[in-house]
Structures are given as C-alpha cells and as structure tokens.
Structure 1
C-alpha cells in the first residue's frame, strides 16, 4: 500500500463517530443518503476502492469481484456474517476479507429472548388492541391466553457465542436448555448452562417447546430447517430466528403456520430480505421484525471500531485480527 491515504468506500451510512474516524484516517468516501448501492454501483465501487466496507445486505459475489480493479486489496465487512461475500473468489484474487465478530452477541441474544416472550405471551397482538381504535373491552379470564415459558424446553440450533448468550438468558427465565451443534461445547459450558446436547437435529426438534435459530448461514446450513424437519416439531411449539432467513424453509414455515401445525414464529430475518412472505404477514401468530437484532447504538459503534482496527492493521502491513479465510466459511 502506498503512502497516500487508501481510498475506502463505505456502502451505507454508519454512526457519525465511526464515519468521522474513517475520514481522519483514510480517504473515506461516505454514503451520506444511506441509499443501498445497486450491483452496477458496487462494480464501480470495487473498481475505485483500495478497501471496500460493505454491509451484510451488499452482495459481493463472484460477478462483482471479477470486475474489481487491481488496487482492491481488502473487503472490511461491517457485520459478523460474511455470507454476502464470495470469500473464496476474494482469496483467489488476493483480497483480504474481515468481519466484526463478537460485538453483536449480547444485542442479538436480547432480541432472541424478546421474540420468545413476544410470541409466547402474544405481546404484539395485545399491544395492537390498545391502539388508535382501542377495541379492548376489559379483562377476561379466558381472553388473549398465551403460554408460560418457565419450565419449557428450549432447543438452540447453533451453540456459538450468540447461542450460549441466549442459553444464559433463557436459563435465568427457568427454561431447560437443549442444543444442536456440529460438536458438543466444552463440558464446563454444558455444566454451567445445564445443557443437553443432541447430535440429531431431528430428534431435538421433536421434543422442544421453543426452538431458537442461532447458527451462521453457510452452504451447509441453507434450509437446515427444511419442511420435513419443521414437520417434526410439536404443533404448539414456537420457533424464533435471529440468525439468517435462509436457514429456514420460509415457504414451508408459512404453510405450517397457516395450517395451525406450529404454535407461532418470531422472525427478525427473512429468506428474501427485504421481501417478506405474504402468508407470514397475514398471520396473527407471527411476530415479524425488520432485521433489527443487532440494532443498538453501542453495537453499531463497536462494529465500526472493529472495521477501523481491521483496516488500520492491514494498512500498516499486518494481518488484521478478524481476517476471514475460505476454510472458515
């Protein structure tokens, strides 16, 4: 990298403190209007940038990367997941990829518990009744009955940082912790969480009252919760997803919800974002949020600081701390 400040193109508007620091350190080009870049605009960006800072909604696939200029040496993703980037093609072209792991754990776990409570206790349905039209007729012993979460079994799909943070919160609420993972977590973590490991996802799903999806989206987890697996769940069970929409077969989930074959769903992510399946929108038993699980001021600033550290380390000639290799995806 030459002595001049590297050109850093940021695809979306970031917190002011983060943008200011990027401008101080680099020749940073900001997206002041926060308008998502089109594929053609992304191509133009990779032709100009020394370093690209995309977000998880920017698809940096092979077709984009093959048109990148020779000067593009780094993609510093503003996000934990890198399923939006063709990491293998980037590596073949000598482009370093980084992400922002760890900083979204607590925020996403908070949102997971919020969805579990919202679906189980019908919080959104209740809030809508006391609105502008206020159709509430007063308390009734059999009206708006939800389900208690205390003492229920929670099955966590993916026991990484976020899955473990969810488990700690859920344990405090009196839930029994079960999990499916590529391999069991360390025995000390299992003991702390009093968690039960299931090698078979299907066997776990069939026994759970609540299922939380917390694994990353990879080719191996696409439609991990397929129609046959979803059919294994108890009809009164609920499922929440704060990971990636592609992990669940959304059409199958919508069909089951409409048919009353599942108790309820809480989704912060969708298979074809920002589009949402109309059948989900029509269901009173679906709590739907616009991908806001990590949307806290503190979380966004922490993400920005990670991006800056990764870029500064790379520019200084060292391996960035959050480098992502193809073997890790």
Structure 2
C-alpha cells in the first residue's frame, strides 16, 4: 500500500460547528485535517504561532463570529506570526473591523466573510426601523407596556399628530451594497418610498434603473434631500464618526436616521444633541458606539428605537455563515495546501491582488 499524503491543515477558531454537520463531515473533513485552537488569550496564541504548535496550516476557520476572537485585533503584529502556508482566513459574520484585511492581503492571505448570508435579515431589520421612526412604534410600545389606561389613551391621541406614513418620502441610503439594495427594493415596493443613495462606487445604470434609485456624488448632497437616512457602510478609518455634527446639520429639520451598519459610524453624542434640539425627530439603532453598552441617554428617549445588534439574527443567517466559511476554504486551498482558486466572498481582493 502507498503512503497516504497528509491533508492540508485548517486551524479552527472558536466553537465547534452547530448546523451543517453532514457537509462538515463529508466535504470539509474529508479534505482537511481540522485542528482546534486551544488558547484563550492573545499572548498564548502568539506563542503558539511562534513555536509552530499547529504546524504549517493552510487556513483559518472561524464559523461563528461570536466566538474565536480571544486573541483580539488581527493587526500587523499578530498577522506577522502566521506561517507562510496560510492561504485564507474564512470567517462568519459580515463585519470585519476586528481584522486588518489589507495587511492580510499583503501577506497573500484572502479574507472572506459571510457576505450574502445576512442580507435578508438585516434588510428586514432596517425596514422595521424605518417604519418605527416614521410611525413612532417605540413610543407606542412603551406606553402600552405601562398597562396604564391614561397613558395608553394619551399616547393613542398624540401618536397620530406626530407620525407620518413613509410613502412618498425620500429614503437616503449611505452605502449601496447587497443589503441596502434589498432594503431599497422592499422600501420602494412595500412602503412606496423614493430612493436616493450615495456610495464611493456608483452602481451600474441598469441597477439604478431597476431599483429606481437616484445617485448623489457626495454624502452631503444626499443628506440635504433625505427624509430618512439609513446607514450601510463598513467601519474603517474613513467611516469612523461619518455621521456627526456636520452631517446632522445638513439633514432636513425633522428628518430621521437608522443605523444597522456599525455603531461607530454614527457619533452618538452628536445624535443626542440633534434629537434634543428636535432637528432629528427620531432614530433607530441596531448597533451602538460602545457596544454592548447602550447609551443610557438614548435608552431614555421615547423617539429612539433600540435593538441588540440583531440585524442578522436569524437562524438562516447562522447556517449560511457557517457553510460559507467552509465553502470559501474549499474554493481556495488545494489538496496539497496550495492556492487553487479564488474564494466565493472575498473582502480584500484589492490588497491581495496588489
């Protein structure tokens, strides 16, 4: 009998898989030797990399974004200790602000996320939040939960005088990716809203035509016309505090804002000032600047809808996140650990190809 060649090694970060057991066993484990990282802190993980504890592994596999982040920020220091055999870092989740994906690309390592898996859930969440800021649903819910007939009656009378239908109003979308494209389709078809958007890369004219979306070549111009702004940008050095005092000053008096992107894209101190002045009439946040700490000031405002970063929080999302991470590694890593192709959902293509 011939000697069986060793399978490429995949270093598993975080909890074991939970959903796609047949695929994991039949497709993934049959191709790779999956080793679980046992460290619980950054220092010990770096030491494990220095001593080559896990050998010349070909991929990093993080199937659950809520676990496997024990080593902290994937920065230049940490990435420099990875073996040159690493081809891909495949993670669940949509955000990637905890990893410097450009430095990974400079080391010829693909970074992939769960793009697409959460599109339906996050766009649904944003749609609910748009309804809430126009119709004051949070104020009504808080009043109903007092179980006080006088508060119920007073709120019932007041809500109709301060609420509006979204139909005919302009939804200003900041960032025009897959999630926001799903959102604008739903907002236009279900709520009858007019769609305007800004992105650093303009969509094809066919997409604009299909979604009946009007492009603005600057964020400032979009903010001036929108009745409700919905944020859909990744968090990076360019988008940190993107919406602050200046941005709120440009928005229409009485306009509204929704954030299902990342908390630090929106400066909460500036938002509080704009809400207290009445310049912004309502806000809805699924993500928070100091998450998981929610601003106590915002939490006390009846015109602010708050949720616990559950935009993508649907079972279907988790299943697809886990599956996508495996599929990305299968697409990139060959039988001998070599690079054999491109991933399905690359994040750092520009840095990788440069």
- TM-score normalized by structure 2? 0.80
Cα offsets for 1:120-155 (capped at 9, x unmatched): 222223223333x41233546632332221111110
Aligned mate of 2:60, from 32, 52, 75: 52
Closer/same/farther in 2, CA of residues 191 and 13 from structure 1, 3 Å limit: same
SS in 2 for 1:293: coil
Q: Alpha-carbon deviation of 1:321?
A: 2.7
SS in 1 for 2:157: coil
**More deviation in 155-164 or 182-191?**
182-191
Closer/same/farther in 2, CA of residues 249 and 19 from structure 1, 3 Å limit: farther
Q: Alpha-carbon deviation of 1:213?
A: 0.6
Measure the CA separation in 2 of the matches of 1:162 and 1:208: 19
| Alignment partner, residue 237 of structure 2 | 219
Aligned mate of 1:142, from 157, 166, 180: 157
1:105 aligns with 2:119: yes
Measure the CA separation in 1 of the matches of 2:180 and 2:149: 38
Aligned mate of 2:19, from 17, 25, 29: 17
Aligned mate of 1:271, from 289, 299, 314: 289
CA contact (8 A) 2:87 2:333 kept: no
| Alignment partner, residue 220 of structure 2 | 202
Q: Alpha-carbon deviation of 1:100?
A: 2.1
CA contact (8 A) 2:175 2:231 kept: yes
Q: Alpha-carbon deviation of 1:112?
A: 0.5
Long gaps (5+) in structure 1: none
**More deviation in 87-96 or 74-83?**
87-96
CA contact (8 A) 1:56 1:82 kept: no
Measure the CA separation in 1 of the matches of 2:208 and 2:83: 48
| Alignment partner, residue 29 of structure 1 | 36
Q: Alpha-carbon deviation of 1:267?
A: 0.9
| Alignment partner, residue 155 of structure 1 | 172
Q: Alpha-carbon deviation of 1:211?
A: 0.5
Closer/same/farther in 2, CA of residues 94 and 294 from structure 1, 3 Å limit: same
Q: Alpha-carbon deviation of 1:115?
A: 0.8
Aligned mate of 2:312, from 279, 294, 298: 294
1:3 aligns with 2:19: no
Closer/same/farther in 2, CA of residues 155 and 185 from structure 1, 3 Å limit: same
SS in 1 for 2:309: coil
| Alignment partner, residue 103 of structure 2 | 89
Cα offsets for 1:246-294 (capped at 9, x unmatched): 2222221122223333111111112332222332222222111111111
Aligned mate of 1:179, from 194, 197, 204: 197
- With CA pairs under 8 Å and 6+ residues apart, which has the higher RCO, 1 or 2? 2
- TM-score normalized by structure 1? 0.85
Measure the CA separation in 1 of the matches of 2:97 and 2:135: 33
Long gaps (5+) in structure 2: none
1:240 aligns with 2:279: no
